[in-house]
Structure formats: structure tokens, C-alpha cells
Structure 1
Amino acid sequence: MGATPGLELHQAEAVAFLGQDREGFDSVYSVYGAAWFTDPARLLPAVRERLRPGGRLVFSQRPAVEGCYGCQASYIPRGDDEDPLVVKRWDYEADGWERLLRGYGFTGVDARVLAAPPGNRTIGTLIVQARA
């Protein structure tokens, strides 16, 4: 696997990692990840604090199911003798994400749902971007 100059990848709990950082970031990306599965009241201020001026937050996730906004729970089956795993996620329509991000001091906020590509998929992808 080749190296990309200046690119660093980290795997950690997002808010804790951001809290330990002292240098800041030019960009933060979340592809069906932390921005979906972390309370925005914890994550967005932490990202905003660590983005350098003009830095970008960009994330993608599945669009919200109509009427199901805010914190939602998914139950993931496990073994026969185990309770299902509960995973929380935060779902908002595009304009809801825009309001949240502006409320935490982000600018240049743009959120939209891209249609699914032709084929088997019917659900598009929510793409959100904002600047510090």
C-alpha cells in the first residue's frame, strides 16, 4: 500500500481523540462513522474547536427515515443466548444538520441527499459539509 504525503489516519473514539489533540486539523471526514454514531452535542463542538480556520468537516450517512429524527436505536442480533446489541445513531434531515452545525459555529454549511446510483440501491446518501 502506497503512502500519501501529509495524510495521517487514526482509529480512536472520536471525542476523546479530539480532546487530546493540540495541533488541530485542516479537515475531518466521517464516512458512515463518528458523525452518525456520536451525539452531535458532544462531537460538533469538539470538531469545531480542533478545526483550523477555514478547515472543513465533511460527513456522509444514510438519510433519516421520515419522522425518525434525533437519537435512534438499532438492535443488532447476537447469539441465541445474548441480548441484542443496542447501537445509537443520530438522524436528521439535511436542514436539521444545517441548523445544528450553524448553532455550533460552523459556516458555509451545505447538506443534501445524493440519489442512489442506478441499480439495486434505492436509498441515497446524505452528504454534509461545513467550514470552521
Structure 2
Amino acid sequence: MREQDAGAWDVWGAARPGRGERNAAGAATWFNWTQWPDHGPDERLLGDLAGGRVLDLGCGSGGNLAHLVALGAEAVGVDISPVQVAKARERWPHLDVRQQTAEEFLTAGTAEFAAVYSVFGAAWFTDPAELLPLVHARLAHGGVYAFSHNPPALEGCYGPQASQMQAPEKGAEPLYVKRWDHEPGRWAELLQQAGFTGVTAEVVAPPDGRRTGTLLVRGVRAR
């Protein structure tokens, strides 16, 4: 994910309504891996994060990050979009949110994290050949890396793809960013090649009445 993509992500972020004030259970903060509200697994996939350092790659407007902080994690989020970062800071002024690419943040420091995650974020929109070694290097031993996004849209169309964002106004030229589509088995291979162990990759079935599931990948840096 590069700086020149920031404008496209600003357009996308400005069109998003943001997270509701409460979920179906009445909670003010919650973690959601899927594109469907109140569906799928929760933050426990990342392990016990109370007091641990956590990194969100592509944090958007900050809803997942806010939940982890509420649970006691020391969390930081990065996002390429100034619009999304502004939304996060307005709603969650206590959050540590940075306007950076994932690659910039990961290469700029040395602090280790107990968990790194990405929900429909930088893990999908950054070349895994570049991102996976950077994430692995910043995880503590035994740390978890997990990410989610849509399964590949077309069978046989894998690797880098053009992803169209909303046009800024009717009649305007569409905006595109690059994403990386892989089947679950290929994602598992890529994580294993980058040094992760205990790798799982699966598609979480959608709720009743929906057609598209959510690809969820998880790996651990060996102790």
C-alpha cells in the first residue's frame, strides 16, 4: 500500500458510515473480523492481550482498535487515509493512530508486538512478499499475526488485482488500488515460507441469507 493510494482510500473512507454506537449485544466496543455485523469469531483469536502491545494494520476509523484498548491492550493503529485517521481520532481521542503505510511503520521501529492484525486492511492491499517478513520481524516470539478479507472474487484470478474504489462524484473517473487475492491454501503456504507456524487459513461462512464468506488467516511466530 503506497502513499499515492491515499486519495482513493480517502474517497472510500468518506463514504463509509462508520461503526454504530452499540452492537446487537449492547456493547460500546467490540471486535469484528468479518464484513457482517455481530458475526464470526472475536478478538480471542489474537490471544490474551491484556497489557500486551498490539498493532492494527489499516485500522480505518478505529473500532476494533478501541475494543482492544478497552480490554487492556497497549494498541497502535496505522492507516494510509487521512480521512479515516481523522474519524478514528474524533471518535476515540485516546487511541494511538498514525497516518502511515504499514511498510513505513514496520520499518521505522524495533518494538515488538504480542499481536499484529489486519481486518480488510493492509494485509490485503500490500504485497505479501514485502509485508510478511516485516510483520514477522516485529512480532514477539509466540506472537500472533491474523488478518481477514474477502475470498478471491473469481476462480483462477489470484495474485495482484485491481480493486475499484468509489468514484468521488457521479461521472468521475473510478479510482483503483491494488489488492492481493489468494486461496486459503496459498495464504497458508506464504505464511509458512515467511517463518510462521501453526498456520490456519479458512473461509468463515456468511450469516444466513448472505453469499460471501470471510477469508481468515492466522499464524504464530515460533518461540
TM-score, normalization: structure 2?
0.55
* Alignment correspondent of 1:52: 140
Instruction: Give the equivalent residue in structure 1 for 2:185.
Output: 95
Aligned AA (1:74): S
Equivalent residue letter for 1:91: D
- Per mean C-alpha deviation after superposition, the further-off stretch among 75-84 and 109-118 is 75-84
The correspondence for 1:20, drawn from 108, 126, 134, is 108
- In 1, the alpha carbon distance for the partners of 2:71 and 2:150 equals 29
**1:83 positional shift:** 3.0
Deviation sequence 1:29-80 (CA, Å, 0-9, x none) = 1000010011101110100111110100010000012111000002333446
73, 76, 86: which one aligns with 2:176:
86
C-alpha spacing 1:83/1:107, structure 2 compared with 1 (3 Å): same
Are 2:157 and 1:68 aligned?
yes
1:130 paired with 2:197, answer no
CA distance in 1, matches of 2:163, 2:121: 15
Distance 2:73 2:206 in 1: 32
Residues of 1 paired with 2:114 and 2:132: CA distance? 15
SS at match of 1:36: helix
Alignment counterpart, residue 107 of structure 1, candidates 194, 197, 202: 197
Question: Greater share of helix residues, 1 or 2?
Answer: 2
Question: 1:3-23 CA distances to partner (integer Å, 9 max, x unpaired)?
Answer: 442331322311110111211
d(CA) in 1 for partners of 2:114 and 2:128? 20
Per-residue CA distance 1:60-117 (angstroms, 9 max, x = gap): 0000121110000023334467432111100100000001111111111100001111
Structure 1: distance between partners of 2:170 and 2:207? 37
The 1:67/1:81 distance shift into structure 2, 3 A limit, reads same
1:7 to 69, 74, 78: 74
- TM-score normalised according to structure 1 size: 0.90
How far apart, CA to CA, are the structure 2 residues paired with 1:13 and 1:19? 10
**Percent identity of paired positions between Structure 1 and Structure 2:** 48
Structure 2 residue runs without a partner (length 5+): 1-27, 29-68, 79-99
Instruction: Work out the CA distance in 1 between the residues paired with 2:125 and 2:186.
Output: 16
Whole-angstrom CA distance in 1 between matches of 2:73 and 2:149: 26
CA RMSD, Structure 1 to Structure 2 (Å): 1.7
Letter in 2 for 1:125: T
Matched, 1:36 2:103: no
